[in-house]
Chains A and B, each alone.
Chain A
Amino acid sequence: EVQLVESGGGLVQPGRSLRLSCAASGFTFDDYAMHWVRQAPGKGLEWVSGISWNSGSIGYADSVKGRFTISRDNAKNSLYLQMNSLRAEDTALYYCAKDSGQWLHTPFDYWGQGTLVTVSS
């Protein structure tokens, strides 16, 4: 059974940093691209970032480019999101999502339950 478990969320002050993690199991992690998708309270889905199976292809939403960094450790079956210079508008539930292919540009077939990030003073 595919499982994606996010962690690392919490309350953080504006301008500070936070690192999210996603622990994957139930599939061969290094065969698939992975993504972060966020959802602000009561709002829709926003794609944040994606990374190919070998970290060779990475993409970011304009809203986080230069502030967030996605990475993965295939030996640890883990996906990460380093979030710097956090803003109030980054407040959201952050989902880890598994791509159905090795590279970006295929649909997301499994999602975690999300970890909540709240940016507030």
Chain B
Amino acid sequence: DIVMTQSPDSLAVSLGERATINCKSSQSVLYSSNNKNYLAWYQQKPGQPPKLLIYWASTRESGVPDRFSGSGSGTDFTLTISSLQAEDVAVYYCQQYYSTPEAFGPGTKVDIK
């Protein structure tokens, strides 16, 4: 099974500043036949279900602000919020959908400093 890890567990960033979250998979989630990384990022605000932000490691879901960006390949990935807004306070999860079980990372809590 592929195990997902995230760092840091939590971070506090000033409004307008950059937030960076890292995600690592125990095996590569890059599928060589289509050169796609089977990696997604979700945002979960308190009391709400998760929301898809980024898929294929770097493709923004429709309607997601462009301050959110994803990067990385193989086993190492990053979610960047370029200019943190108050509404971005949430827990962020990465997920691999390369193989079952389609595991999530443990989450990173983002707060305002």
Per-residue CB contact flags for chain B residues 35-63 toward chain A (1 = under 8 Å, else 0) read: 00010101010000111100100000100
How many Å lie between the Cα of A107 and that of B49 in the bound state?
15
**Which residues of chain A from 38 to 53 have a CB within 8 Å of any chain B CB?**
44-47, 50
Shortest C-beta distance, A74 to chain B (Å), equals: 21
- Measured between beta carbons, the chain A residues less than 8 angstroms from B61 are 109
| B93 part of interface (Cβ distance < 8 Å) | yes
- Range for the number of chain B residues in contact with chain A: 20 to 34
The number of inter-chain residue pairs (CB within 8 angstroms) is: 63
| A–B complex contacts, Cβ < 8 Å, 30 sampled | A35-B102, A37-B50, A44-B105, A44-B106, A45-B95, A45-B104, A45-B107, A47-B101, A47-B102, A47-B103, A50-B100, A50-B102, A59-B102, A60-B101, A61-B101, A62-B1, A62-B101, A95-B50, A104-B100, A105-B99, A105-B102, A106-B97, A107-B95, A108-B42, A108-B50, A108-B52, A109-B52, A111-B49, A113-B49, A114-B49
Interface residues of B (CB under 8 A from A): 1, 38, 40, 42, 44, 49-52, 55, 61, 91, 93, 95, 97-107
